[in-house]
Amino acid sequence: MQVAKAKYLPIIHLSLLAMAILIAYSSVFGAGFMSWDDPEYVLHNADIQNITADAIKNWFTHFYIGNYHPLTLLSYAIDYLVGKQEPFTYHLTNILLHIINAGLVYVFVNRIQQNKWVGFFVALLFALHPVQTETVSWVAERKNVLYALFFLGSLICYAGYIIEDRRKLLVAAFILGLASMLCKPAAVTLPLALIAVDVWMHRNISSPKVWLQKVPFLVLSIVFGLIALKAQKQGNFLDQHPEFGILDTILFAGYAYVQYIINLFAPVKLSVLYPYPQSAGAIQTVYTLIAAGIMVLGVIAYKKKWYILSGGILFYTVNIALVLQFVQFGEVLMADRYLYIPCLGIWLPMVYYLYEAIGQKGKEIVVSIILCVVALVFLFATQKRNNIWLSELAFWQSVTDTFPESAVAQSSVGGVYMKQGDYDVALEHIQKAVTLDDKNYKAWYNLGVLHLRRGKYKEAEDALDRCIAINEYSKALFSRALLFQQTGQYLRALNDINKVLEKEPNNARAYYVKGSCEDEDGDYQQAIGSFNKAIEYGDGDPIFYLGRGIAEVKSGNAQDAITDMGHVIDHNPKSGQAWYWRGLAKEQIGLEPCHDLNMARNLHYREAEAALIKYCND
């Protein structure tokens, strides 16, 4: 009977894990996309809309928002194939990947120690902690759940190699490690994470064999580390805070190292981002000393053969070290998503020693009850935390509520109000952002866009100039090009839009603006070529065909123009502009234009009246 129970226990555990995750993340199935990176990865990314040789080439040869992750883009492309731009598909995939990862954690912990209840509760705490919501509920963090899948698979194979001494498992660990690095550069910590596995499994880490086994993994990590640095540099994400020196960097790193642990045990003030403090003070110094003490404890634990504790500290340290901003990247000091894998280095020792301390006294059931209560608290906290992903305004207000002095958050809240058309409130938040941090280029960009929408061109140009002076941000260049186009400065617009296309050679909207400027400048053939590119890289937007059709009429390609305008009218029969230009095209080749021109007039297209008088004696 006991054997039968043991046989089915893993199935029961894995089923409970899946059910708990589905309950915790049930509300996310109704969430949409966020304006924070989701448009660049999904909504406006032509490279995921078809799985073609050119798209695959781009995945492996281009950087996306300062990252290199071709397999992540493949996963988006599969989602697009299934659900186009329906957010449910992308959220479902993230949640399913999280379920699989929780199962892999369960398998991994069971491989390195023998108590399946320890494995279950480590996996349950990993799965349900509210700190994980950023990774699971945010479509743009697909790279996190996906790299973790292969990372955990690599750890499992490596642990299997230690147990079975089968070289095939070591090769499998290497291949899975490569796949993990192709999902997210954070996987470059794998060689050192494998050392933690060695410690957990009581291997002699002074043995040359142990270190030689890591050489292929280390070479892989160096290559992908250099690629990641190049990607971050190209995206202008490096050295966002040059005002801080080496001592500040060390103190901030020590602070973050400890604060992440505090957030695991007391998840009461979680945030999607944690801004840099204005300066390093007493709390940063104290936390840095605590961080040093934890690392010393890891060494002492190893010498005393407390392998689970020592391995846990090592695993947490090597995986969190990469995001402690020793090499500055991005705008913020900390982010919840960075704990996705490192938290295992905390949960495993905690659960293991609870069972060791209390379970040995025949009270394992007490430990299980305690951990069930903790997991239940985490589940409800995760459900509540997921509410911020249901509304973009709630998302950013959750940050400003916690960090009202965050320029990033204030600017982003302003951006949401701007999208909603509440320009006065938007201006209040965005101006606060540039006051808090006058080097925040995204805040200046938002201010420029806001002024542009309000028709204040001089103020818009000044704000966009400030943004571009700090960082040649593609969106700011694009917006300034629109400004120049709207004010008749076509050569200046072309200069900016060409810079956008240098950075984003597949940007359909940029080609459309380029074509429009070339058309206004009288270079119709060049304009047609640009509109062709917009159509090639675009999502079938009729406005691209409208632009090309107008240029074709002006260059005398009437038949092609009639075809393009017909395409526009099929999609939008109320486009007076399309009816007008198709009428002119028909007139060019001797066809009856009056019906089309009359339709344009009825749709209140102003130029149609004069054309009717000229061509139809109306």
Closest CA to 267 of 72, 61, 129, 140: 129
What backbone torsions phi and psi does residue 51 show, to the nearest 5 degrees?
A: -90, 85
Mean pLDDT of the chain: 90
For the chain, the helix, strand and coil percentages under 3-state DSSP, each to the nearest 5: 75, 0, 20
Average pLDDT over residues 244-263: 89
Dig out the tokens for 463 from the structure: 């704000």
**pLDDT computed for residue 401 by the predictor:** 86
Domain assignment present for 89: yes
What backbone torsions phi and psi does residue 332 show, to the nearest 5 degrees?
A: -120, 160
**pLDDT computed for residue 280 by the predictor:** 79
Residues 290 and 362 reside in one and the same domain: yes
Tens digit of pLDDT for each residue in 175-206? 999 999 999 999 999 999 999 999 999 998 88
Dig out the tokens for 159 from the structure: 């642990």
Q: At 170, which amino acid appears?
A: L
Last residue of a domain, one of 471, 491, 513: 471
Last residue of a domain, one of 421, 456, 471: 471
Domain assignment present for 556: no
- Reported as a pLDDT band with limits 50, 70 and 90, residue 407 is confident
- Residues linked to residue 64 through DSSP beta bridges, in sequence order: 67
**pLDDT computed for residue 191 by the predictor:** 96
Whole-angstrom Cα distance, residue 17 to residue 129? 13
Share of residues in the chain with pLDDT > 70 (%): 96
pLDDT for residue 238 is more than 90: no
Domain assignment present for 213: yes
Contact 474, 509 (CB under 8 A): no
Tens digit of pLDDT for each residue in 575-606? 999 999 999 999 999 999 999 999 999 999 99
Give the pTM. Answer: 0.83
Domain assignment present for 607: no
**pLDDT computed for residue 1 by the predictor:** 39
The number of beta carbons lying within 10 Å of the beta carbon of residue 335 is 19
Dig out the tokens for 38 from the structure: 């989701």
**pLDDT computed for residue 237 by the predictor:** 61
> Token pair 């009246």 is at which residue?
609
The number of beta carbons lying within 10 Å of the beta carbon of residue 148 is 26
Closest CA to 551 of 508, 522, 588: 522
> Token pair 């903790």 is at which residue?
374
b/e for 560-570, b at 16 or more Cβ within 10 A?
A: bbbbbbebbbe
Reported for 421-430, long-range contacts at CB under 8 A and 24+ positions apart, including other chains, are 423/450, 423/453, 423/454, 426/450
Contact 31, 87 (CB under 8 A): yes
Q: Is 11 exposed, middle or buried (0-12, 13-18, 19+ CB in 10 A)?
A: exposed
- Reported as a pLDDT band with limits 50, 70 and 90, residue 171 is very high
Residues 324 and 440 reside in one and the same domain: no
Tens digit of pLDDT for each residue in 89-111? 999 999 999 999 999 999 999 99
Last residue of a domain, one of 418, 436, 471: 471
Whole-angstrom Cα distance, residue 46 to residue 506? 7
Residues 251 and 299 reside in one and the same domain: yes
- Residues linked to residue 334 through DSSP beta bridges, in sequence order: 274
pLDDT for residue 513 is more than 70: yes
Domain assignment present for 569: no
Residues 373 and 411 reside in one and the same domain: no
Residues 60 and 200 reside in one and the same domain: yes
Residues 100 and 222 reside in one and the same domain: yes
pLDDT for residue 517 is more than 70: yes
**pLDDT computed for residue 482 by the predictor:** 92
Q: Is 208 exposed, middle or buried (0-12, 13-18, 19+ CB in 10 A)?
A: exposed
pLDDT for residue 329 is more than 70: no
Residues 359 and 439 reside in one and the same domain: no
Domain assignment present for 143: yes
Structural domain that includes position 406: 391-471
pLDDT for residue 362 is more than 70: no
Question: Cα angle at 263 between 257 and 265, to 5 degrees?
Answer: 110
Average pLDDT over residues 305-317: 96
Whole-angstrom Cα distance, residue 230 to residue 185? 11
Domain assignment present for 145: yes
Whole-angstrom Cα distance, residue 314 to residue 194? 10
**pLDDT computed for residue 113 by the predictor:** 87
Share of residues in the chain with pLDDT > 90 (%): 68
Contact 511, 542 (CB under 8 A): no
Span of 201-210, 232-241, 305-314, 450-459 with lowest mean pLDDT: 232-241
Residues 312 and 329 reside in one and the same domain: yes
CATH assignment of the domain containing 440 = 1.25.40.10
Reported for 238-242, long-range contacts at CB under 8 A and 24+ positions apart, including other chains, are 238/327, 238/328, 238/329, 239/328, 240/328, 240/329, 240/330, 240/331, 241/276, 241/328
Average pLDDT over residues 391-418: 88
Number of domains observed in the structure of the chain: 2
- Residues linked to residue 274 through DSSP beta bridges, in sequence order: 334
Residues 255 and 395 reside in one and the same domain: no
Span of 109-123, 242-256, 383-397 with lowest mean pLDDT: 242-256
- Reported as a pLDDT band with limits 50, 70 and 90, residue 456 is very high
- Total residue count of the chain as it appears in this document: 618
**pLDDT computed for residue 523 by the predictor:** 92
Mark out the alpha helices in 403-453 (DSSP H runs). 407-419, 423-436, 441-453
**pLDDT computed for residue 385 by the predictor:** 94
Cβ-proximal residues to 173 (8 Å cutoff; 6+ apart), any chain = 154, 155, 157, 158, 161, 194
CA–CA distance from 398 to each of 38, 390, 392, 402 (Å)? Answer: 19, 12, 10, 7
Residues 374 and 448 reside in one and the same domain: no
Whole-angstrom Cα distance, residue 519 to residue 151? 51
Domain assignment present for 581: no
Closest CA to 217 of 190, 195, 193: 190
Contact 134, 336 (CB under 8 A): yes
Whole-angstrom Cα distance, residue 313 to residue 320? 11
Residues 103 and 204 reside in one and the same domain: yes
**pLDDT computed for residue 151 by the predictor:** 97
Residues 163 and 152 reside in one and the same domain: yes
